[in-house]
Amino acid sequence: MASDPAWWTRSTVYQIYPRSFADSNGDGIGDLQGIVSRLDYLEALGVDVLWLSPIYASPQDDNGYDISDYQGIDPVFGTLDDFGELLASVHQRGMKLVMDLVVNHTSDEHPWFVESRSSRDNPKRDWYWWRPARPGTEAGSPGAEPTNWGSFFSGPTWTYDEPTDEYYMHLFSRKQPDLNWENPDVRAAVYEMMRWWLDRGVDGFRMDVANMLSKDVSLPDGLVRPGFEFGDGWPSFISGPRIHEFLAEMHAEVFAGLDRPFLTVGEMPGVTVDDAALFTDPARREVDMVFQFEHVGLDRGTSKWDAVRLDLTRLKRSFNRWQLGLADIGWNSLYWDNHDQPRAVSRFGDDGEHRVRSAKLLATVLYLQRGTPYVYQGDELGMTNTPFASIDEYRDIETLRHYRSALAAGADPRVVMAAIAVASRDNARTPMQWDTTPHAGFSTGEPWIGVNPNFVDVNAAAELADPSSVFQHYRRLIELRRTHAVVALGDYRPLLADDPVVFAFHRRLAPDELLVMANFSGEPANASIDDVEVWRDAELLISNDDGFTMIDDRFALRPWEAFVLRRTIP
Ligand code: TEU
Ligand code: CA
């Protein structure tokens, strides 16, 4: 990294899912005043930046990722004044606040789409993707869609609008029509909206599906894989032909004149290491970092509903590829969880006997890598998945539409429910567990989604009071990134790539070298590394156990043990 390292190389971001964080008015839904009431807690954790999932006016078809007014706060979350108060309090505490930017699509109730849909010659018709039925088909009938692409939320990516006798595109739900970024008026309107929020003092944006803004305008059909009803449209909208041009233009139009620190992170399903190096190369002025999805796809087979056992060597190879791939140019984000992923401790750890140890291990191996860590609300408590008994307890549009389409295709409901229990996004969206009072202290009213019954044991109050808790481990990891430059900027060197249970690597930045080692299993494990002797008297920076054990020339690791050693490079 040529010039002075950017401020966010030493920062940690905390993601808040406002619906599920803290409810201040007892309606069972989290809100802005709820977040204000918990800022002491976030300051105690030591995070530097808060990222808010969408709080804008929205019909909430996809929990706010369907926006009907980009410059309005949804009344369920509060008012612009509440937002102003939150932002001021965050800044007073020396933290920053990043908004969610959802501009690949709007809500179908956004005035732009209402106009666009009203007639074929409406000036905003071309603000979205409208196309006639496939030639030789009857409009409105299955197969008449302009392309054969499948939506992320089951079904086709096109919906027929009878009054204007054309289809509109929506990669997600039919209430999330895609904006046509080919139209410069669309881009100008988005940039103006972003500047409006920056003028109000926000410190940056997390950009939703930021690598889907540019589509292949010839709209070719996609390959239909065996067993799938629809074609794969990804080659036509993942990192499309003009994506770098659009993100560079956005940077120039929105951020170039900004004379204060800001952060941008692009959520990019399907992004490759090479693409990411282009997107995050500071010289190209596109985004500061990206969210890539490789590691969160390694326990899935043909779809996210097809769970497979994680092979640790594949996980390590993926991390190694991203760490080494962006070593010289670009920058990584580091995350296990967000509002779209099931809880990591249930998925990659052990949410039973070894919940605390494995939760600490997962944070240790991730946050000691090179990149900016993202803590998703509840990670710092070791919150786990919540398998609901009935489909009626689920709320997520992706989950509910999958359930319906799987059953329509003849699947066994018990099999589908089992898959949903493992992979549903609702696992991440259960209320934050603050204490042992009713509804885990999240709300005095009936929460919009069920609370994980393990809140009696797993909650912030208990974690804050326990010096050996997951919370305290997270707090120390976050602090390490500030106190030790090697953690933020050190070179990454993988070790033991083929070991099936031990994850180990070095970080190196004179005068420090670190050894990070973790046993990803419930059984004891041994690990031998070349220069083992130099670590025998090393400083223990952090561990989820009481220190480390060396027997002869190897490390003896207890189940789910993880530690970080530091030595001074001669
Ligand atoms: O997610 C994009 C995305 O890729 C996810 O849909 C992901 O594939 C899926 O959830 C994994 O199961 C973003 C937001 O994070 C998500 O919450 C929204 O639903 C989606 O975009 C549409 O805005
Ligand atoms: Ca509320």
Task: Tell whether ligand 1 has an atom less than 6 A from the beta carbon of residue 398.
Answer: yes
- The yes-or-no verdict on residue 3 having pLDDT over 70 is no
What share of the chain in percent tops pLDDT 90? 98
User: pLDDT (tens digit, 9 = 90+) per residue, 61-115?
Assistant: 999 999 999 999 999 999 999 999 999 999 999 999 999 999 999 999 999 999 9
What pLDDT does residue 190 have? 98
User: Does 25 have pLDDT greater than 50?
Assistant: yes
The rounded distance, in Å, linking the Cα atoms of 419 and 384 is 16
Residue 61: CB within 6 Å of ligand 1?
A: no
Omega before residue 511 within 30° of 0, cis: yes
Which of the following is catalytic: 82, 145, 166, 267? 267
Ligand 2 centroid distance, CA of 28 (Å): 6
User: For 204-250, what is each residue's pLDDT tens digit?
Assistant: 999 999 999 999 999 999 999 998 999 999 999 999 999 999 999 99
Q: Which residues have C-beta within 8 Å of that of residue 92, sequence separation ≥ 6?
A: none
Mean pLDDT over residues 31-52, rounded? 98
539 has pLDDT over 70: yes
pLDDT at 300 over 90: yes
**Average pLDDT in the chain:** 97
In 156-212, the DSSP E strands lie at 158-161, 166-169, 204-207
Atom of ligand 1 nearest to the CA of 269: 4
Count Cβ atoms within 10 A of the Cβ of residue 123 and give its class: 0-12 exposed, 13-18 middle, 19 or more buried: exposed
Q: What is the DSSP letter of 252?
A: I
Cβ neighbours of residue 497 under 8 Å, at least 6 residues apart?
313, 316, 317, 320
What is the per-residue pLDDT across 472-521, written as a single tens digit (0 to 9) for each?
999 999 999 999 999 999 999 999 999 999 999 999 999 999 999 999 99
Active site residue 267: yes
Any residues with CB less than 8 A from the CB of 511 and at least 6 apart, and which?
Answer: 568, 569
Q: Does residue 102's CB lie within 6 angstroms of at least one atom of ligand 1?
A: yes
Asked if 157 and 150 count as a contact pair (C-beta separation under 8 A), the reply is: yes
> Average pLDDT for residues 434-448, to the nearest whole number?
98
Whole-angstrom Cα distance, residue 295 to residue 315? 6
The rounded Å distance from CA 77 to ligand 2 centre is: 6
Contact 212, 171 (CB under 8 A): yes
Distance CA 293, CA 295 (A): 6
Share of residues in the chain with pLDDT > 70 (%): 99
- Measured in whole angstroms, how far is the alpha carbon of residue 83 from the centre of its chain? 22
In this predicted structure, the answer to whether residue 1 has a pLDDT above a threshold of 70 is no
Per-residue pLDDT tens over the stretch 357-366? 999 999 999 9
Measured by CA distance, the residue closest to atom 17 of ligand 1 is: 340
Q: Give the position of tokens 């030493």.
A: 10
Average pLDDT over residues 439-449: 98
* Single-letter amino acid, residue 1: M
Is residue 361 within a helix (H) or strand (E), and if so which, with residue range?
Answer: helix 355-367
Ligand 1 centroid vs 435 CA: distance in angstroms? 30
Give yes or no for residue 36 having a pLDDT over 70.
yes
DSSP characters over 183-198: SHHHHHHHHHHHHHHH
**Distance from C-alpha of 38 to C-alpha of 380, rounded to nearest angstrom:** 14
Q: Determine whether 208 is an active site residue.
A: yes
pLDDT category, 432, cuts 50, 70, 90?
Answer: very high
pLDDT digits 0-9 by tens, 183-196 = 999 999 999 999 99
Is it the case that residue 4 has pLDDT exceeding 80? no
Side by side, the strands of the sheet bearing 502-509 are: 491-495, 502-509, 512-519, 562-568, 539-543
pLDDT at 553: 93
Residue 467 has pLDDT above 60, yes or no: yes
Ligand 1: residue whose CA is nearest its atom 11:
340
